[in-house]
Amino acid sequence: MSPAWPRQGLYAITPDERDTARLLARVGTVLQAGAVWLQYRNKDADDGLRGEQARELLTLCRRHGVPLIVNDDWRLAAAIGADGAHLGEDDGELASARAALPAGAILGASCYDDLALARRAAAAGADYIAFGAFFPSPTKPNARRASPALLRDSAALGLPRVAIGGITPDNAGPLVEAGADLLAVISGVFDADDPGAAVRRYLAAFTH
Ligand SMILES: Cc1ncc(COP(=O)(O)OP(=O)(O)O)c(N)n1
Ligand SMILES: Cc1ncsc1CCOP(=O)(O)O
Ligand SMILES: [Mg+2]
């Protein structure tokens, strides 16, 4: 992973938005407000729409100097020249993605509530490890739950640690104190009355 990408801040993840113009407008506000990474995640789009939205988001991210990570599908990430891919337990082998992606591409791994999985992800070449859900998630209510202790316990792996799941500006502080480098958020940003203000409130968690 290029040393140019920020190691700390808000990692915004897109909501399931089918209207591409609206998606771009919503994401534009969030990047303008200071989100440092973006993940394209849309569980409600077919391959054609996902390709279209991913390409458009990449152009937008380039304008803001923000890396675009594609969820679930490293082949799509590679096809459009995105900055990386995020893989969970159902999304294929990390080692295969690592071998196929260009040098410098960001490869993220879901580690849920499992330190052993994080160790294996690190060995397979992941660039960051993601834990969660730390709180009940409006987006993924059945997500496995994780304890903040995992953030401390995984520090020795030496990789950026991402926290996800039900994170709000009000509950983010203890996760950052426990070692979260990046806060990955969908609803807390995109369902907020004022998404730009919400982004700034998340960023404040890193300065307290
Ligand atoms: C940063 C980040 N962390 C975790 C996930 C979850 O990935 P996964 O378990 O594959 O679940 P889906 O997102 O595919 O529903 C993520 N996407 N991003
Ligand atoms: C993809 C994912 N994996 C665990 S929780 C979650 C959803 C996060 O969304 P929200 O920030 O709305 O809880
Ligand atoms: Mg997935």
ipTM reported for the complex, 2 dp: 0.99
Query: Does 2 score more than 90 pLDDT?
Result: no
Distance (Å, rounded) from C-alpha 128 to C-alpha 174? 20
pTM above 0.80, yes or no: yes
Nearest CA to ligand 2 atom 8: 165
Asked whether residue 3 is assigned to any structural domain, the reply reads: no
Asked whether residue 2 is assigned to any structural domain, the reply reads: no
Tell me what the mean pLDDT of segment 181-187 comes to: 98
Cα Rg of the chain (Å, integer):
16
Atom nearest to 128 CA in ligand 1: 1
Please give the residue range of the domain that contains residue 34: 9-204
Nearest CA to ligand 1 atom 9: 88
Beta bridge partners of 162: 130, 182
Count of structural domains within the chain: 1
| pLDDT at residue number 166 | 98
Mean pLDDT of the chain: 97
Instruction: Say which amino acid occupies 33.
Output: A
Asked whether residue 25 is assigned to any structural domain, the reply reads: yes
Asked whether residue 93 is assigned to any structural domain, the reply reads: yes
Query: Does 208 score more than 90 pLDDT?
Result: no
**Which residue, among 73, 100, 65, 94, has the nearest Cα to 159 in the 3D structure?**
94
Q: Which residues line ligand 1 (CB under 6 A)?
A: 39, 41, 71-72, 86, 88, 91, 108, 110, 130, 162, 164, 184
Asked whether residue 68 is assigned to any structural domain, the reply reads: yes
Asked whether residue 1 is assigned to any structural domain, the reply reads: no
CATH number of the domain enclosing 127: 3.20.20.70
Q: Is position 34 annotated in a ligand binding site?
A: no
Percent of the chain clearing pLDDT 70 (strictly above): 100
Asked whether residue 87 is assigned to any structural domain, the reply reads: yes
Q: Is position 142 annotated in a ligand binding site?
A: no
Q: What would the pLDDT profile of 113-155 be if each residue is shown by its tens digit? A: 999 999 999 999 999 999 999 999 999 999 999 999 999 999 9
Q: Is position 39 annotated in a ligand binding site?
A: yes
Q: Is position 2 annotated in a ligand binding site?
A: no
Q: What are phi and psi of 84, to 5 degrees?
A: 175, -175
Nearest-ligand number for the alpha carbon of 171 = 2
| pLDDT at residue number 1 | 78
Q: Could you list the active site residues?
A: 41, 110, 140
Asked whether residue 142 is assigned to any structural domain, the reply reads: yes
Among 87, 110, 137, say which to mutate for ligand 2: greatest number of ligand atoms within 8 Å of CB.
137
Atom nearest to 110 CA in ligand 2: 3
Place of tokens 């998404």: 195
Atom nearest to 43 CA in ligand 1: 15
The pLDDT-based confidence of 4 (bands split at 50, 70, 90) is confident
| pLDDT at residue number 81 | 98
Q: What would the pLDDT profile of 20-61 be if each residue is shown by its tens digit? A: 999 999 999 999 999 999 999 999 999 999 999 999 999 999
Tell me what the mean pLDDT of segment 6-15 comes to: 97
Tell me what the mean pLDDT of segment 71-78 comes to: 98
Residue 70, token pair as written in the block: 């594609």
